[in-house]
Structures are given as structure tokens and as C-alpha cells.
Chain A
């Protein structure tokens, strides 16, 4: 019985995952060094500017994670393969963490750049909505149903949510420009354009490192999911034995 053999062998983390962990740990250390020690302190904002590296890196990963959710939701609806459902689910969980980072670092940045904790700037507002869509998605995933049904419903929500994000961005942008005709602080973009080379390098390096962290977390999450399924299967098998 092929199935029985599959049950006795625990799933193992892949070689790729081990290599990735080996790369990611030093990369994170280097990134921290570059951000806090190597890169110069910005003249106007001082040390607070350093949060920008993490802020943008997390924002990029949050949107990437949601993109992954959307793509794998569509794949799941077409093929109904469980692995796609797992990838989408894990990606959403990681995405919500990155979104939370964006939403905490954003106000800190805003306080020192624009002297307010929060403003309804399009990118920030879109991130808030994204955060809520993620929460809705995870709520659906935590419903008590068999995985086939749960996967189907959450995949549908993933697709709808992904369609919605650009529309939200557009409408918030529009709304913001009618409410506050003076578009305040093109802060993030400005520093993105006219950055000093060392800052730019640090910035790119941090974003790449955070993407690496995302990938490692993804692999870890999928591995945990696999173990979970393995346990459920063993349990189901044991129950069957007890009954008959």
C-alpha cells in the first residue's frame, strides 16, 4: 500500500529550505548592520528615517504576499490541488504580519515627517483596507469545515480581494486629493528618488533580505501545514482501526 508507506514517513524540510535559512540568517545580520551603522543618518529627520527601510520592505512584502494569495487561489480553483490552497493560506498569514509592521511603522514615520500619527494618505489607507481583507480571508480559513470547502471559499475571497485592492487604491487616491487639495509630504517617494547612494544600497539590500525572510517563512509554513495534515491523516487512520 503506497498510502501506508506515505504515512510512516514524516515529511522532511527540503534541502532548498535549509540552504535558504543558511543564506537568510547572515543576510539579516548584514541588513541590520547596513541600516543602523553603515548608512548615514538623514539630515532632516534624523534616526527616525531608518524606519523607512523596514516600512517599505514590509509594505512590498505585504503586497507580494497578497499577490501570491491571489495567484494560488486562482490555481486552486482550477486544479483543486491541496498544495496551492496551503501556499495561499500560509502566504496570507505571513502577509498579515508584514501588513501589521507597515501599519505600526507608518504612524511612527508620519509623526516625525508630517507631525501627525495618521493621515489618510492613499498608500497607508490602502494598506489598512488590505489588512482588513487579510483578516476576513483568515477568518474564512479558520471556519470549521472540511479543507476542500474551506479552500474553495477562501480562494474565491482571495480572488475578489485581489481585484479589489487596486480599485481601493484608486478611489482612496482620488478621495484624498479632493479632501486635501494640498497633497502633503510626498515623503516616501522623495527619499526614494533623491537618495544618497549608500542609502539606496541599504534600501535595496533590506528589501531583498525581507523578501528572503518571506520566502523562508513560506517554506516553514508549508512544512508545518504538511505535518499538520500528516497528523490528521494518522488520526483518521487510527480512528478507522478502532471502529472496525
Chain B
């Protein structure tokens, strides 16, 4: 406990504090996601009502690309002064680095989503939200982002060993994240567009829970091999 949870919180706190001081990562992610939304509105006519069915996909495309942007920074910033070595030498569990980084990345992506998704609804004039669907949407976004960020954090650490890690990360991450992306998009679609099929959305959410658990635990267990020098 002392060597896993506490250092994880310290590392996450360090990242959040650093972000609070520089406001680099979240700002860039936000600008980038707004630009994606603007590009969407050029690509798909927002005044056309049939574009509504594309909204669930858009939500997750924004999440994926903005998250990759942030994940890339997550470990390359630790590379400049060999901070990773400091973590290896310190009396902390390797998994706590994963946990700490995961918490920080998760919070960054959630902040971006809280701003970007309402913006998307606004610009595409998506108004058919009910309290119920918002409730489910929040749950789905939480589960989907959890899975994506846990695999992403793990692979970001892995690819940060390479000099061209920004190029490597998407190649590693997207195929491995396929299940959670499929599940998240499908569940979002059901919740936003035909809420009657809620039971089907529930089973997608179960799949996401399974995926989240498997890869979160795999990340915790395997992280020491990634961290070794």
C-alpha cells in the first residue's frame, strides 16, 4: 500500500500540478479537439438532420485523437532528465508509476471531454438529450475512456523508449484499442439515438468493463518490464 498507492498519488499529483502551472497538455488537447469538430462541420453538413447518426462516432474520434496527443507527452516529458530512472531507483513499486500516470492522463482526457462533447452537441445542434440518456452517456464515456487510457498509458510508456515515439504510439495503440472503441461507439449510438435498445447498450458496457479490468490489471502487472532500464 505504502509503496503502490501513495507514490501513485504523488506522481499523479505531480503531473496535475505541473499541468496546472504550464497548462500545456490540456490546452493543446482542447484546441486540437475543437479543430477536429470544426473540420467535422466542414466535412459533414451540420444543418442536415441525417448527420445526427454520426455524432457517436465523432465523440470517440475526438477522444481518441486528443488522448493520443496527451499520452504522447505523458512519458516523453519524463525522458528528458531520465526521471524514469529516478522512479526505478526510488522505493516505489513499478506499478505505481503506471497507476499515477494513468490517473493523470484519465483526468486530462475527462477534462477535454467535458468541454469538447457539449461543444460538439452545440455546433451540430444535437438537442434530443434526456436526463436518462445523459446519465448513461456519462457512464459509457467513463468506461470507454478508462479502457482506452489504461492501454494508452501502458503503450505510451513502451513507445517512449523509441526516439520516434509520437509515430509509434498510434500504431501500437489503435489495433489494441479496437474492442473498446467498437463497444464505446455502439453503446453511445444506442443511448443517443435509439434508447429503446438499452439492454444491448448494457451488454456493450459489460464488454467495456471486462476490457477495462483485463487491460488495467495487465498494465499493472507488466509495467515493471516496461520500466526496466
In the bound assembly, the distance between CA atoms of A155 and B225 in angstroms comes to 9
With both chains docked as a complex, state the minimum distance between the C-beta of B221 and any C-beta of chain A, in angstroms: 10
In the bound assembly, the distance between CA atoms of A132 and B182 in angstroms comes to 16
List residues of chain B with CB within 8 A of the CB of A160: 151, 154, 176, 215, 218, 222
In the bound assembly, the distance between CA atoms of A171 and B183 in angstroms comes to 7
With both chains docked as a complex, state the minimum distance between the C-beta of A169 and any C-beta of chain B, in angstroms: 9
In the bound assembly, the distance between CA atoms of A149 and B200 in angstroms comes to 44
- Which residue of the partner chain A has the closest CB to B183? A171
B182 contact from A77, A145, A156, A175, Cβ within 8 A: A175
Whether a CB of chain A sits under 8 angstroms from the CB of B124 is: no
In the bound assembly, the distance between CA atoms of A144 and B151 in angstroms comes to 24
In the bound assembly, the distance between CA atoms of A163 and B178 in angstroms comes to 13
- Which residue of the partner chain A has the closest CB to B190? A178
List residues of chain B with CB within 8 A of the CB of A155: 225
- Tell me if A170 and B207 are in contact (CB < 8 A): yes
Q: CB-CB contacts of A147-182 with B at 8 A, as 1s and 0s? A: 001001101110111011001101110110010000
Known pairs A156-B158, A157-B158, A171-B183; A133 contacts B176 (CB<8 A):
yes
- Tell me if B211 and A132 are in contact (CB < 8 A): no
List residues of chain B with CB within 8 A of the CB of A171: 178-179, 182-183, 207
Whether a CB of chain B sits under 8 angstroms from the CB of A136 is: yes
State the total of A-B contacts with C-beta under 8 angstroms: 82
In the bound assembly, the distance between CA atoms of A161 and B174 in angstroms comes to 12
Whether a CB of chain A sits under 8 angstroms from the CB of B162 is: yes
Whether a CB of chain B sits under 8 angstroms from the CB of A208 is: no
- Tell me if A153 and B226 are in contact (CB < 8 A): yes
List residues of chain A with CB within 8 A of the CB of B159: 140
- Which residue of the partner chain A has the closest CB to B208? A171
- Tell me if B162 and A143 are in contact (CB < 8 A): yes
- Which residue of the partner chain A has the closest CB to B162? A143
Whether a CB of chain A sits under 8 angstroms from the CB of B228 is: yes
Query: Which range contains the number of B residues in contact with the other chain?
Result: 20 to 34
Whether a CB of chain A sits under 8 angstroms from the CB of B141 is: no
Known pairs A153-B158, A164-B179, A175-B182; A136 contacts B225 (CB<8 A):
no
Q: CB-CB contacts of A116-156 with B at 8 A, as 1s and 0s? A: 00000000000001001101100110011100010011011
Max count, chain B CB within 10 A of own CB: residue among A133, A153, A160: A160
List residues of chain A with CB within 8 A of the CB of B90: none
With both chains docked as a complex, state the minimum distance between the C-beta of A72 and any C-beta of chain B, in angstroms: 15
List residues of chain A with CB within 8 A of the CB of B203: 174
- Tell me if B183 and A152 are in contact (CB < 8 A): no
Q: Other CB < 8 Å A-B pairs besides A152-B228, A156-B226, A171-B182, 14 of them?
A: A77-B225, A136-B176, A149-B228, A155-B225, A160-B222, A161-B176, A164-B175, A168-B179, A172-B182, A174-B203, A174-B207, A175-B182, A175-B186, A178-B200
Residue ranges of B at the interface with A (Cβ–Cβ < 8 Å): 151, 154, 158-159, 161-163, 168, 171-172, 174-176, 178-179, 182-183, 186, 200, 203-204, 207, 210-211, 214-215, 218, 222, 225-226, 228
Residue ranges of A at the interface with B (Cβ–Cβ < 8 Å): 77, 129, 132-133, 135-136, 139-140, 143-145, 149, 152-153, 155-157, 159-161, 163-164, 167-168, 170-172, 174-175, 178
5 contacts across the A-B interface (CB closer than 8 A): A129-B175, A135-B171, A149-B228, A152-B228, A163-B214
